[in-house]
Amino acid sequence: MNNIFLRDYQSELLDLMLNVKAGRYLVQMATGLGKTVCFTGYINKLEPGIKVLILSHREELVNQPIKYIKCHVGIEQSNLKSDGESIICASVQTLVKRLDKFDKDYFDVIITDEAHHSPAKTYQKIYDYFNFKIHFGFTATPNRFDNVRLDTTFDKIIYEKPLKWGIENKYLSDIYCKRFYINYDLKGIKSSNGDYQLKALDEIVNTNDNAKAIADIYHKHAVGSTLIFGISVSHCESIQKEISGSVVISAKTKDRSNIIEDFTSGKIKCIINCMIFTEGTDIPRVETIIMARPTKNASLYSQMIGRGLRLHPDKKQLLLIDCCGTSNLNLCTAPSLLGINMPDIKKQLGQDKDIEGNLFDLPEKINKISDKPEHWIINYKLVDLWAKGLGFNFHGINLYKLPDGTFTLKFGKVNIKIPGPDELGTIIFQGKQVKFQPVLDRLYTWLKKNYPDSEYLWNINVMKRWGNKLASDKQIELVKRFCPNFDTSNLTKLQASQILNRFFNK
What pLDDT shows up at residue 148? Answer: 67
Same domain as 30, residue 93:
yes
Three-class secondary structure of residue 462 per DSSP: helix
How many percent of the chain have pLDDT more than 90? 61
Q: Which of 367, 382, 400 is the last residue before a domain boundary?
A: 367
Q: Which of 120, 143, 165 is the last residue before a domain boundary?
A: 165
Domain count, the chain: 3
In a domain, 259, yes or no: yes
Same domain as 284, residue 154:
no
Mean confidence (pLDDT) of the chain: 90
Same domain as 387, residue 362:
no
Same domain as 116, residue 58:
yes
In a domain, 239, yes or no: yes
Same domain as 293, residue 218:
yes
Residue 235 belongs to domain with CATH number: 3.40.50.300
In a domain, 347, yes or no: yes
Confidence tier at 282 by pLDDT (50, 70, 90): low
- What pTM value is reported for the model? 0.86
Return the closest-CA partner of residue 181 out of 301, 318, 350, 320.
Answer: 350
CA–CA–CA angle 105, 111, 117 (5° rounding): 115
In a domain, 1, yes or no: no
Same domain as 329, residue 255:
yes
Same domain as 84, residue 197:
no
What is the span of the domain harbouring residue 40?
A: 8-165
Quick one: three-class SS letters along 410-423?
Answer: EECCEEEEECCCCC
Burial class (CB in 10 A: 0-12, 13-18, 19+), 272: buried
Same domain as 215, residue 91:
no
Same domain as 262, residue 152:
no
Same domain as 291, residue 224:
yes
| Residue 91 scores a pLDDT above 80 | yes
Q: Which of 165, 194, 226 is the last residue before a domain boundary?
A: 165
| Residue 251 scores a pLDDT above 80 | no
In a domain, 3, yes or no: no
Same domain as 219, residue 354:
yes
Same domain as 399, residue 343:
no
In a domain, 2, yes or no: no
CA distance 171 to 189: 38
In a domain, 461, yes or no: yes
* pLDDT, tens digit, 9 for 90 and up, residues 188-247: 888 887 789 999 999 999 999 999 999 999 999 999 999 999 999 999 999 999 999 999
Taking each helix axis as running N to C, give the angle between helix 493-504 and helix 473-482, from 0 to 180 degrees, rounded to the nearest 10.
Answer: 40
